[in-house]
Amino acid sequence: LEVKKSEAEAQISAAKEAKQNWSAASKKHHEAQKAEKVGLKEMSTLADKKAALDVVIDEHFAKLVDKTAGEPKKSMKEVTKALKQHGAEKQLLEAISAALQPEKEHGGFEKVVIETAMEILTKARANFAGKVEASEATKAALAAAVESAEAEAKDLQGVSTALEAKAAEAKDAKNEAEASLADVEKTLELVEKTFEDAKSEEAQALGEVANAKEALEALVAIETAVEASETLAADAAEEAVLPTAGEA
């Protein structure tokens, strides 16, 4: 029983540890998924910002410069908004708004203003492009981390399940051993009780034999006394019948 108990305790302890490892791996997997989700959202935001800047540069700014913009006011609003977002000073914003008016000829000053504004926007676009390119490697790394964590959690789940099954088997074996021991103890108690009952019955029988022996001995003594009394009585009667010497 002690062996079964020790085995059961060892299996239960191992199963508990495996379950804790699985729980930790599952948490790691969840955190990796969360990190991937955040990373993908950030990448998507970067891609959206680059795409929006592409439209500002290639559609609005370029068409304002060559005077083909269908809606000059709207295009100017988008250009100045983008320049402001990427650090252009107030003087440049005012200058570019004046330089890109449809009726304005592009002299030396206007060309410098346009080149300066374009440099700010193209630099911002290159920065976005670099981040988007770098994010592809980050995306792959995040996906690999999720896959690795998922595989580890799956493996540990299998280990945990197997050890839980073994622990259950060991526990059942321990319970069966305890039940068997209880049955043996119960049987032993019954045997002891039967033995005690038999001893009691034997003692009672011996007492009855002794009583019977005493009664028999008393009966024999009585019979002996009776016989002796009868003999004495017979002798006395015989003596009474015989004549005395004078009568003869």
Residues 116-141 have pLDDT tens digits of: 999 999 999 999 999 888 888 887 88
Average predicted confidence (pLDDT) for the chain: 84
List the one residue out of 28, 44, 52 whose CA is nearest residue 150.
Answer: 28
pLDDT at 22 over 90: no
Asked whether the predicted pLDDT for residue 245 surpasses 70, the reply is no
Count how many residues are written for the chain.
248
pTM of the model: 0.48
Helix (H) or strand (E) holding 143: helix 108-241
Measured between its terminal Cα atoms, the distance across the chain in Å is 107
> For the chain, what percent of residues have pLDDT higher than 90?
32
Q: How far is CA 15 from CA 24, 73, 134, 154, in A?
A: 14, 71, 43, 15
CB distance 113 to 99 below 8 Å: yes
Residue pointed to by tokens 């038999």 = 198
For 223, the token pair is: 């019979």
